[in-house]
């Protein structure tokens, strides 16, 4: 898995502004990633906390960024339950669920540079909704839409996106709520068909993102598309520069998660979106 991340985030082959969102990361795994690749020596930093105690216990939903390209203005974690209480399961959820929020300011065009333009601000959101609780997924999606709108207005961001495992296919409630009119989001993949890319291949890889570790996903059983990148769209809420997905999505890919030795590095495939705003 680390080799997968290293290859796809090589410094000279990926934009400095690349952002990475992971789910189901334990503290020991996060430390391993930091030691082996995502650390200051390789120009990476991250935000995120363990969902069980707001510190190091339980799974993280971290957001990685390069400090050379971004300045962190704000970071918070929201617990997806009825009260927002730290470490509490919500509704019918089987596990504690969180939303990681980060406001990042681009280093390009900083005000302290002579003649520099206004730096761009991005709201990055990362989540992992419950795999068993249908009510939890639905209500969590509502909380995410509401929180995104409040953070966008508070920080006057230029762009926003939501990454994560929704445990909801496009026919499910959570996906529908996040994509409905006025939500402020749309599935990044929806913009691909409208893009005229000079390379002729802005869409790459599989469609389904969940395979399982048993291979049933690749055999046609249990295949599902539940991992997404959602991009910001103007919902009339008075925030800065919300734009349709087709204007910002320049590429979309679902990467392989199994190779010649037959071992799955993950039971999910990574989703990559190339965005311009």
In order, the DSSP letters of 149-195 are: HHHHHHHT-SEEEEEEE-S--TTSHHHHHHHSTTSSEEEGGGGGGG-
Whole-structure pTM value: 0.90
pLDDT of residue 193: 59
The answer to whether residue 113 scores a pLDDT higher than 70 is no
Kindly state the tokens that stand for 233. Answer: 């769209």
Sketch the domain layout of the chain as residue ranges: 2-275
- pLDDT mean over 35-58: 89
pLDDT band with cut points at 50, 70 and 90 for residue 42:
confident
DSSP label of 258: B
Phi and psi angles of residue 187, each rounded to the nearest 5 degrees, phi first: -55, 125
The answer to whether residue 241 scores a pLDDT higher than 50 is no
Report long-range pairs for 39-42 (Cβ below 8 Å, ≥24 apart): 40/67, 42/11
d(CA 161, CA 88): 25
Phi and psi angles of residue 74, each rounded to the nearest 5 degrees, phi first: -160, 145
d(CA 146, CA 29): 31
Q: Phi-psi bin for 151: left (phi > 0), alpha (psi -120 to 50), beta?
A: alpha
CATH 3.60.10.10 fits 2-275, yes or no: yes
pLDDT band with cut points at 50, 70 and 90 for residue 36:
confident
pLDDT of residue 240: 44
In order, the DSSP letters of 89-133 are: --TT-SS--EEEEEEEEESTT-TTSTTPPPPPEEEEEEEE--SS-
pLDDT of residue 194: 54
Q: Please report which helix (H) or strand (E) contains residue 140, including its range.
A: helix 134-155
Cβ count within 10 A of residue 152: 24
């Amino acid at each position: 898995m680390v080799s997968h991340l290293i290859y796809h985030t090589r410094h000279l082959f990926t934009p400095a502004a690349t952002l990475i969102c992971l789910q189901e990361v334990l503290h020991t795994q996060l430390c391993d990633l930091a030691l082996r690749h995502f650390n200051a020596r390789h120009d990476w930093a991250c935000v995120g906390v363990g969902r069980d105690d707001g510190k190091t216990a339980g799974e993280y939903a971290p957001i990685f960024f390069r400090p050379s390209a971004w300045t962190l203005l704000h970071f918070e974690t929201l617990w997806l339950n009825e009260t927002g209480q730290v470490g509490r399961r919500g509704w019918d959820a089987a596990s504690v669920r969180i939303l990681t929020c980060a406001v990042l300011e681009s280093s390009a065009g900083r005000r302290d540079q002579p003649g520099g333009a206004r730096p761009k601000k991005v709201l990055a959101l990362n989540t992992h909704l419950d795999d068993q609780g249908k009510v939890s997924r639905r209500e969590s999606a509502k909380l995410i839409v509401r929180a995104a709108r409040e953070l966008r207005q508070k920080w006057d961001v230029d762009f926003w996106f939501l990454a994560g495992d929704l445990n909801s296919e496009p026919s499910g409630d959570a996906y529908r709520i996040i994509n409905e009119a006025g939500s402020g989001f749309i599935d990044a993949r929806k913009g691909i068909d409208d893009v005229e890319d000079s390379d002729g291949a802005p869409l790459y890889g599989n469609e389904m993102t969940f395979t399982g570790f048993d291979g049933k996903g690749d055999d046609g059983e249990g295949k599902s598309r539940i991992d997404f990148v959602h991009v910001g769209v103007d919902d009339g809420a008075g925030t800065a520069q919300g734009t349709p997905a087709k204007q910002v999505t320049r590429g979309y890919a679902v990467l392989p998660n199994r190779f010649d030795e037959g071992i799955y590095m993950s039971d999910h495939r990574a989703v990559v979106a190339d965005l311009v705003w």
